Amino acid sequence: MVKISLDVMGGDFGPEVVIPGAARALERHPEITFILFGQREKCEPFLAKYPKLKAKSVFHDCEVAIAMDEKPSQALRRGRYVSSMWRSIEAVKTGEADVVVSAGNTGALMAMSKFCLRTMANVERPAIAGIWPTLKGESIVLDIGATIGADAQQLLDFAVMGGAMARALFQIDRPSIGLLNVGVEEIKGQEEVREAGRMLREAGLDTLNYAGFVEGDDLGKGTVDVVVTEGFTGNIALKAAEGTARQIATYLRAAMSRSLMSKIGYFFAKGAFDALKDKMDPRKVNGGVFLGLNGIVIKSHGGTDAEGFGSAIEVGYDMARNGLTQKIENDLKLYHTRFPSTSRAGSSSAGPEAA
């Protein structure tokens, strides 16, 4: 049994999307139980349509819903303890839920998650990991926007956390990890990326296979299981790729409706186009995962539909079932015990000082 906590008010559409999304996830994984947090009068009408979901859920009425454009600081002031967002996160802290899923605004969700769950020992800053569709399947890319900039040690923490996520999600023992960098000869990349590369090579970790630097076009190729970068570049790379996919879809639609011949062609090839659409469907890989907190938080796209929110729930389900938090904690501990000199202040004093 996996217990999933939902911020029903989150996202552009709130209960209208979250509740049907949960119903879809339940259809596929009947062993899920839900804890729902939302404004009762807004949720009831939708919940009434899904009696199976209602039977497998506990509903908690919350007075406050966080707006999509609310600043994190304001959201914290107004919504701490009382909002559907906060309380859905809190359910993970108290152990009532294994994972929380919200389509609410990223900044507020991250601020509340940090405040409520706190970062793990040895982790200075959490990261958001995205699941990137590739020619080989899927890769994990982090950080895609939790913070700006990262020093070598933080990049290394991202690598360990991303590796643990890959082990949980893809069920591989020793996922390959690449550091995102530029390939131009003269400029061999940021100093912190080079330093992180040296550290990863020297560490020789059992839980991950460091494959060196990768470039922007390796993301789509699926060259490695996990791509590590800091949040500014990661966020821009993600959005540039999404934008390109939308751009090509627009070209394709225009091309297919430009003549009678192409319309006939479209008619015959419709099955193929549907398969392509399915491949390119951003809803299928919906869901960023907050890593480095004492609990699993899944962020779904704010503008997603029920299918997309259902996918985000399934990502959370996979993470919880495979013990992601425990895996991350163990991997980080392993690393920081072996390399105590790299541990953060406060935690390093607990470990042995000699290598």
Sites for a copy of itself among residues 89-118 (CB under 8 A): 105-108, 110-111
Decide: 91 and 100 in contact? Cβ < 8 Å. yes
Is the Cβ of residue 73 or residue 341 nearer to a copy of itself in the bound state? 73
Q: How far is the CB of 212 from a copy of itself (least distance, A)?
A: 16
Decide: 41 and 67 in contact? Cβ < 8 Å. no
Integer CA distances (angstroms), 63 to 18, 41, 46, 86, 110, in order: 18, 10, 18, 11, 21
Out of 72, 126, 287, 310, name the contact with a copy of itself by CB under 8 A: 72
For a copy of itself, which stretch binds (CB under 8 A), given 51-59, 156-164, 211-219, 314-322? 211-219
Count, residues near a copy of itself per rule CB under 8 A: 73
The answer to the question of residue 82 lying near a copy of itself (CB under 8 A) is no
Q: How far is the CB of 317 from a copy of itself (least distance, A)?
A: 25
Is the Cβ of residue 102 or residue 134 nearer to a copy of itself in the bound state? 134
Out of 33, 39, 262, 348, name the contact with a copy of itself by CB under 8 A: 262
Q: How far is the CB of 223 from a copy of itself (least distance, A)?
A: 10
Query: Helices 324-338 and 152-170: crossing angle, nearest 10°?
Result: 140
Cα 298 to Cα 312: distance, rounded to the nearest angstrom: 7
Out of 1, 41, 94, 268, name the contact with a copy of itself by CB under 8 A: 268
Q: How far is the CB of 72 from a copy of itself (least distance, A)?
A: 5
Out of 265, 326, 330, 337, name the contact with a copy of itself by CB under 8 A: 265
For a copy of itself, which stretch binds (CB under 8 A), given 10-18, 34-42, 48-56, 263-271? 263-271
Out of 28, 49, 71, 201, name the contact with a copy of itself by CB under 8 A: 71
Which segments of the chain are extended strands (E)? 2-7, 32-38, 57-61, 99-102, 127-134, 137-142, 176-180, 209-214, 226-228, 288-291, 296-299
What's CA 330's distance to the chain center, in Å? 20
Out of 121, 172, 203, 245, name the contact with a copy of itself by CB under 8 A: 245
Is the Cβ of residue 183 or residue 204 nearer to a copy of itself in the bound state? 183
Backbone φ, ψ for residue 34 (5° rounding): -115, 145
Is the Cβ of residue 173 or residue 186 nearer to a copy of itself in the bound state? 186
Q: Structure tokens of 204? A: 């020789």
Residues ≥6 apart with Cβ < 8 Å to 160: 205, 207, 208, 328, 331, 332, 335
The answer to the question of residue 242 lying near a copy of itself (CB under 8 A) is yes
The answer to the question of residue 261 lying near a copy of itself (CB under 8 A) is yes
The answer to the question of residue 255 lying near a copy of itself (CB under 8 A) is yes
Q: How far is the CB of 2 from a copy of itself (least distance, A)?
A: 28
Q: Structure tokens of 226? A: 């996990």
For 212, the 3-state DSSP assignment is strand
Sites for a copy of itself among residues 114-173 (CB under 8 A): 134-135, 145-149
Backbone φ, ψ for residue 47 (5° rounding): -65, -35
Cα 65 to Cα 104: distance, rounded to the nearest angstrom: 9
The answer to the question of residue 304 lying near a copy of itself (CB under 8 A) is no
Is the Cβ of residue 43 or residue 219 nearer to a copy of itself in the bound state? 219
What's CA 275's distance to the chain center, in Å? 25
For a copy of itself, which stretch binds (CB under 8 A), given 37-45, 77-85, 217-225, 330-338? 217-225
Write the DSSP symbol of residue 64: B
User: CA-based angle 289:290:293, to the nearest 5?
Assistant: 140
Cα 33 to Cα 57: distance, rounded to the nearest angstrom: 6
Q: Structure tokens of 307? A: 């299918």
Q: How far is the CB of 107 from a copy of itself (least distance, A)?
A: 3
Q: How far is the CB of 243 from a copy of itself (least distance, A)?
A: 3
